[in-house]
Structure 1
Amino acid sequence: MVNWTIAGSLTPQPALDRPDLLAEPVAKALAALPDADRIAAVEIDPDLADTAEFCAAYNSPLAASANCVVVAGKRAGEERFAACLVLATTRADVNGVVRRRLDVRKASFAPMDTAVELTGMAYGGITPIGLPAQWPLLLDPAVAEAPELVIGSGVRGGKLLVPGPVLAALPGAEVVEGLGR
């Protein structure tokens, strides 16, 4: 297990030992990951799930948090999706880098209802672990290289602590230069 310096006032536990803090698709994906023992879970107040509130309440550095957003676009009537993971101190370049990667005319954040339905995760807790297999997972290089990050757990009452290289090794993951701005 990693010595989590970013946990702030929280007590990390092995993520596989806390399925109650994971959305169902996240728990299934974690069980299949070879590096699952390098991922911890922490229980949080669901009202403090948003990144800024979480960091302030639990004394976790904002620079060690990453946000996962679901992006959608259409091409020839086909809707295409991708998940993007960028540091919380940056924003995903949706209409540049992501639009080109999806090969769509216009890309935008997927509507909340659509993102929740397609991922099986709670809005505000969507995480790159357990996403639909056909979606590309786009990671900013700063995420892939980070020694430890806080990400969602699929539910608002938990967070995952994970090394960036573990995220970069997820199925469908691509490290994309210029993703985070």
Structure 2
Amino acid sequence: MAHDERVTLPSFPTLTSLPAVDRPDLVAPPVAAALATWPGAADIAVVDIDPDLADTAAMSEAYDIPMTAGGNCVVVSGARAGDERVAACVVRADTRADVNTLVRKMLDVRKASFLPMERAVAETAMEYGGITPIGLPDGWRILVHDALLDEPVVVIGSGVRRSKLLVPGRLLADLPGAEVVPGLGR
């Protein structure tokens, strides 16, 4: 595909996509760095959106995207014996991450909770509402809801609120450090 060649995805005709690897200006710096080295990046597109519509429900309504095609990424942490354990959970947008039971058990902590917004933004170098599993800090676990793998295209954050990434669902399992978790979203 030629640089900046525009493509309209048949499943989302309201969005005009560009190859994400060709548009590092549309993603957060750690996302651009990860895309530059990840073999799966060639199949990922980026779309420009109105930053006021970055929240999943608003974006789904405005751009006519089913909630089942959206992937939300939340950052969760817990501690055991003074050792903090952090994970990014990517769940289908029509569900919520099972933090209190499944994630807590997977992290092997007494209590798991969402990382405070300021800390999540600082540690990921991404904008709140745009945090994505691509380009997260080394050592963070990435827990992926198994239901996302069946989606032909999943719309996820790009690290910034003004764009989204379009990722073939199956590729989420191939992210560095990804763990596919049945029932992660409830």
- Give the TM-score normalised by structure 1: 0.96
Q: In 2, Cα distance between the equivalents of 1:136 and 1:143?
A: 17
2:159 corresponding residue in structure 1: 154
- In 1, are the aligned partners of 2:102 and 2:184 still within 8 Å (CA)? yes
Structure 1 runs of 4+ aligned residues shifted over 3 Å read: none
Task: Work out whether 1:178 is the aligned partner of 2:169.
Answer: no
Aligned-partner SS, 1:161: strand
Q: How does 1:13-162 map to 2 (within 5 A)?
A: 13-162=18-167
Aligned-partner SS, 1:99: helix
- Tell me how far 1:36 sits from its aligned partner: 1.1
2:4 corresponding residue in structure 1: none
- In 2, are the aligned partners of 1:8 and 1:60 still within 8 Å (CA)? no
Task: Work out whether 1:165 is the aligned partner of 2:170.
Answer: yes
Q: 1:154 to 1:170 in 2, by over 3 A?
A: same
- In 1, are the aligned partners of 2:8 and 2:17 still within 8 Å (CA)? no
Structure 2 residues not aligned, in runs of 5+? 2-6
Instruction: Let me know the Cα RMSD of the aligned residues.
Output: 1.4
- Deviations along 1:10-53, one digit per CA (max 9) or x if unpaired, are 10110012111100000000011112110000001111100011
Q: In 1, Cα distance between the equivalents of 2:155 and 2:27?
A: 14
- Tell me how far 1:7 sits from its aligned partner: 2.7
Q: Give the residue type in structure 2 aligned to 1:105.
A: R
Query: Equivalent pairs: percent with the same residue?
Result: 63
Q: In 2, Cα distance between the equivalents of 1:106 and 1:180?
A: 18
- Give the TM-score normalised by structure 2: 0.93
Equivalenced residues, count: 181
- In 1, are the aligned partners of 2:77 and 2:113 still within 8 Å (CA)? yes
Q: In 1, Cα distance between the equivalents of 2:116 and 2:53?
A: 22
Q: 1:67 to 1:32 in 2, by over 3 A?
A: same
Q: In 1, Cα distance between the equivalents of 2:144 and 2:28?
A: 21
